[in-house]
Amino acid sequence: MSDRRLRVPARVVRELREALLRDDEQERFAFVDAGTGPASGHGEPDAPADAGGSADAPDLLAGEVVPVPDERLARQSKTACRPEPAVERDHVGDCYDRQLAPMLVHSHPFSDDPRFSSIDVEAMGRFREWLTGLFPDRPFGFAVVGQSGIEAVANAGERFAALPVEVVGEWKLDDPVPGAVDRFAPTDGGERDGATADGAATASNGDAPTADTDTPGGDDGIGERFDRNVRALGTDGQRRLRDATVGVVGVGGIGSQVAEQFARLGVGELVLVDPDTVEPSNLPRLVGAYDHHVGKPKVEAVREHAWRSSPGDIDVTAIAEPVEAVPERLADCDLVVGCVDRVTARSFCNEWAVKHLTYYVDAGVRIDTTDEQVVGMTGYVHLVAPGSTACFDCLGRHDQEAARIERLSPDEREAELERGYIDTEQVSPEPAVIHLNGLCASKTVSVATDVVTGVKTPPDFIRYEDTAHEMTALTTEPSRECPTCGDGGVLGVGQRSFGDAQFTPEDGPETATSD
């Protein structure tokens, strides 16, 4: 894991710049309500064990921006700003009541790449002493915003620790944040420890193949095997793939091919999640599954195939459970891919990604038929960069009726069928063919590879019409009215895990100022 960091969606960066940087060059102030989430995953094994550098220190996830109006500032000039104490007390209290962490943000409009001043540091120290005396275990932080840069720190016991800034969907910014960190940046480490699997969900990893002894390349795990990849993606791109952890939720017709392609690309770790077992009707489309897999978990068949499609040191974790039952297994993933046929599972992945500011790629196909004649074959790939692109609910893709039917018990479903409340087509297996699945899987891996390697800007949404052989890339924007990632939604709220104590002090410290 890397040092604790502040994850900021591109939308939040734009909102801070718009609220705090004006032509009059007066300093301004805003709160950012931040959730806490899993620590981001590439880093130093010997990081100090404190809140700022511990491997398990949670990231802060920037969600809602709350600007303080100029008339509620006790002091404002071109070199200083200070909100009224009551404003600060009320907002910090509300933030903790909602189990969020307050970030106190002011601007240095005179600076491109700002740094905290000595006055800032002194005022921040007074604030820390006051607040930690009341709530010693509550997270909080400070940030200063300039014309392009952002500097941030978080409380770390007796001191403040630097909080590197990661911009989620940074390609959406006209003016990137200099010095922003990248969760996919390659490490200097060598080979991984070796293939692993969740023994409770699958067979032991004793039948995994050994490492490819023909693969040269020293400690970086690239070598001759990935020579053609490197020629297309560069050495840095290949190392980013090697260091990435990708979750694949749903390993059926699309997901099994996605997993294989990631393995062959050299992704270092795969987390496979699917509760289903292999059925005879899956065999024409489930890559890596054969007759002897019928009745066994799909993740077992795909895990074995991924091992045989990749270097022997790939990590493959296989989880034969619904994703809703194991959300913690997504926490280690840098990027999650959903290849599910249930609306509820797809909606869950979307919401989890929005809450934790994690990239999510959703893939699916649809075949429409009339009297056993195909009238339409469609595939789509949807990239959710929370707070930067539209999410699942922004585009109205949540089918409430389908989700309701999925939640019915078998007896309830049968009763509704008999009464005519639902028809047979709503609960019958969907048509599927491997070539449409394969095209969708390849585009899914292409989009994910763009995100991981940074070789080119990923599209927000791809729609493919097979009957016309037309592929269209669309641009999306998150909706402020979206119930999931919009105002009042769950963007960046994380795991909300640090309690619900009420915050009711009568007096606060002198509020932070800046010069």
CA 297 to the chain's CA centroid: 26
- CATH number of the domain that 125 lies in? 3.40.140.10
Residues β-bridged to residue 37: 59
pLDDT digits (tens), the chain, 515 positions: 346 899 999 999 999 999 999 999 999 999 999 998 865 554 443 333 343 344 457 889 999 999 999 999 999 998 888 899 899 989 999 999 999 999 999 999 999 999 999 889 988 888 888 888 887 788 899 999 999 999 999 988 778 899 999 999 999 999 999 999 999 998 765 444 433 334 333 333 334 433 343 443 444 557 788 999 999 999 999 999 999 999 999 999 999 999 999 999 999 999 999 999 999 999 999 999 999 999 999 999 999 999 999 877 789 999 999 999 999 999 989 999 999 988 889 999 999 999 999 999 999 998 887 877 878 899 999 999 999 999 999 998 776 666 665 565 677 766 766 667 666 665 566 778 999 999 999 999 999 999 999 999 999 999 999 988 999 999 999 999 999 999 989 999 997 644 333 333 344 444 443 34
Residues 388, 458, single domain; the answer is: yes
Burial class of residue 155 (count of CB atoms within 10 Å of its CB; 0-12, 13-18, 19+): buried
Q: Which domain holds residue 52?
A: 6-172
Please check whether residue 499 lies inside any domain of the structure: no
Would you list the DSSP string of 218-280? GGGS-TGGGHHHHHHHHHHHHHHHHH-EEEEE--STTHHHHHHHHHHHT-SEEEEE---B--G
Please check whether residue 195 lies inside any domain of the structure: no
Please check whether residue 185 lies inside any domain of the structure: no
Q: Cβ(63)–Cβ(21) under 8 Å?
A: no
Name the nearest CA neighbour of 384 among 363, 355, 359. 359
* Structure-token pair, residue 402: 């389908």
The DSSP call for residue 72 is G
Please check whether residue 496 lies inside any domain of the structure: no
One-letter amino acid of 133: G
HSE-CB at 393 with a 13 A cutoff on CA atoms is 23
Please check whether residue 93 lies inside any domain of the structure: yes
Residues β-bridged to residue 160: 155
Name the nearest CA neighbour of 386 among 29, 122, 1, 35. 35
In the listed set 129, 149, 172, which residue is the last one of a domain according to the structure? Answer: 172
Name the nearest CA neighbour of 237 among 208, 266, 214, 203. 266
| pLDDT at res. 422 | 64
> What's this model's pTM, rounded to 2 decimal places?
0.85
Residues 290, 152, single domain; the answer is: no
| pLDDT at res. 230 | 93
| pLDDT at res. 138 | 86
Q: Cβ(427)–Cβ(417) under 8 Å?
A: yes
Residues 236, 152, single domain; the answer is: no
Q: How many domains are contained in the chain?
A: 2
- CATH number of the domain that 242 lies in? 3.40.50.720
Q: Cβ(356)–Cβ(6) under 8 Å?
A: no
Residues 465, 400, single domain; the answer is: yes
Please check whether residue 192 lies inside any domain of the structure: no
Residues 280, 327, single domain; the answer is: yes
Name the nearest CA neighbour of 177 among 214, 202, 147. 147
Please check whether residue 510 lies inside any domain of the structure: no
In the listed set 149, 172, 195, which residue is the last one of a domain according to the structure? Answer: 172
* Structure-token pair, residue 187: 């490490």
What does the chain come to in residues? Answer: 515
First and final C-alpha spacing in the chain: 35
Please check whether residue 394 lies inside any domain of the structure: yes
Q: Does residue 153 sit in helix, strand or coil? A: strand
CA 168 to the chain's CA centroid: 8
| pLDDT at res. 149 | 96
One-letter amino acid of 240: R
Name the nearest CA neighbour of 257 among 123, 381, 127. 381
